[in-house]
Amino acid sequence: MSILGCYRVTPLLIAFTAVIAFSGAADANQSQSPAGKPAQGEAPAPTASQPSQPQEGGASVPPATDGAGSATAPSDTETSVKPPPDYVIGSEDVLGVVFWRDQEMSGDVTVRPDGMITLPLIQDIKAAGLPPDALRAQIQKAASKYIQDPTVTVVVRQINSRKVFISGEVLRPGAYPLTGSMTVLQLLAVAGGLSEFADAKEIKVMRPGGQILEFNYKDVSQGKELEQNVQLKPGDTVIVP
């Protein structure tokens, strides 16, 4: 090819290349939305000022701490009851065992029918027949094998082992927890009172040892024979004929 032919071809190639480059740039511009918006069909990305929607349930909230990084121990008085002075722990009672600064060891336990409770590390320990303070001392002694200088509190959440019973002509016969002091008259009130068919003069109190006490509702309610309105003991049964 002559030199003149080369000079004729070269401008044509340059022009063709420029057309291709311009078409590619136009296609690239069409793939983007104006003002920096995403192309149609694409989900908008979350921004710092508009965070994405959190998952269902939200973020978990860390437990409260005492300032030293340890979870705050549960309150030893929350939902507790004040037992009577002669109270000893029995089966079905619910106890709160609180280890200071050791929430994993703390918790509520129910006394089993065999009188035992189960605690982390310590496993089984006898609870029935002991006052709460005596059980606290035993737990603290057993825990000292695993924890340095443990501080333990035992509180009574529910008293289910001390019950009295009432049957016969009352509105709500059944078993009732004896969480404190209770007289015959008070139990009758808790049970809804006498039915219209009750013999108010012939009420009996039967005690586990076989003792039977008389109770005349009409006399006692009028302020007479008040000695019949005895304090009930665990296991007593009031019979209303």
- Tens-place pLDDT, residues 116-138: 999 999 989 999 999 999 999 99
Most confidently predicted of 25-34, 47-56, 177-186: 177-186
3-state secondary structure of 71: strand
**Residue 56 confidence (pLDDT) above 70:** no
Distance CA 29, CA 125 (A): 78
Distance CA 100, CA 198 (A): 54
**Mean pLDDT, the chain, as a whole number?**
79
**CATH number among 2.60.40.1290, 3.60.10.10, 2.170.120.12, 3.30.1950.10, domain 94-158:** 3.30.1950.10
Overall average pLDDT of the 136-152 stretch:
94
**Spatial contact of 173 and 154, defined as CB atoms under 8 Å apart:** no
More confident position, 11 or 148: 148
Tokens of 166: 């009432």
Chain position carrying tokens 């008070």: 186
Q: pLDDT confidence of 78, banded at 50, 70, 90?
A: low
Q: Specify the CATH number of the domain 163-240.
A: 3.10.560.10
Task: Give the residue extent of every domain in the chain.
Answer: 94-158, 163-240
**Phi and psi for 232 in degrees, rounded to 5?**
-75, 150
Q: What's the pTM? A: 0.57
Distance (Å) of CA 151 to CA 102, 166, 171: 9, 42, 47
